[in-house]
A = this chain, B = another copy of it.
Amino acid sequence: MTDVKSINNPLFLREEELRQAIELLFFAYRDFTAGPDEILKDYKFGRAHHRVIHFVGRNEGMTVSELLDILRITKQSLNRVLSNLIQRGFVEQRQGEEDRRQRCLYLTEEGRHLEQKVSRVQRELVANAFREAGGEAVAGYRKVLTGLIDETNRDTVLSRILKT
């Protein structure tokens, strides 16, 4: 394939490399979400429910506005999903102790069970990819993905991810 582009245009290979990296991310993300989607279908939940369960599970007691800030959707969009999860007993709200306007969010036992079940397939997928790729590659994965996060709130996002 020694065509004119790769001979004459030094930027061509770079552009091609970037395009491949973009598609790789597209396909990886597609398959990365396929497992959870499959499981959640049995519960008649969608990806929006998954996100709520995931983030509430990782941040027990978080408020509605914190969740809105992470998901970057409107409160009306969230509310449909959230009230559904509450009604069906996967998430519960408690009034904030300091600020009683706040509704702090928790997974119920059933919610935690679903979170585990869904999270497991995803963790196994990632664990396999990590194992195959090796430790050095994992460090590179982290570096590059970190660099893809919007610079203006990268620190906020990272602290949210890393906070245990």
Find out whether the CB atom of B137 lies under 8 angstroms from the CB atom of A139: yes
* Contact stretch, chosen from A20-28, A83-91, A93-101, A103-111: A20-28
Closest-by-CB residue of B relative to A148 is: B28
Report the Cα distance A109→B31, complex, angstroms: 32
Q: How many chain copies?
A: 2
Report the Cα distance A157→B58, complex, angstroms: 33
Report the Cα distance A118→B143, complex, angstroms: 24
A138 within 8 A of B: yes
Closest-by-CB residue of B relative to A125 is: B148
Contact with B along A120-162 (1 / 0, CB 8 A): 0011011111101110111111111111111000000100111
A141 partner, pick from B130, B140, B150, beta carbons under 8 A: B140
Report the Cα distance A21→B24, complex, angstroms: 17
A161 contacts which chain B residues (CB < 8 A)? 20, 23-24, 27
Name the residue among A18, A132, A140 with the largest chain B CB count within 10 angstroms: A140
A119 within 8 A of B: yes
Find out whether the CB atom of B149 lies under 8 angstroms from the CB atom of A31: yes
A146 contacts which chain B residues (CB < 8 A)? 24, 28, 129, 133
Name A residues whose Cβ lies closer than 8 Å to a Cβ of B: 1, 14-16, 18-32, 34, 51, 58, 72, 119, 122-123, 125-130, 132-134, 136-150, 157, 160-162, 164
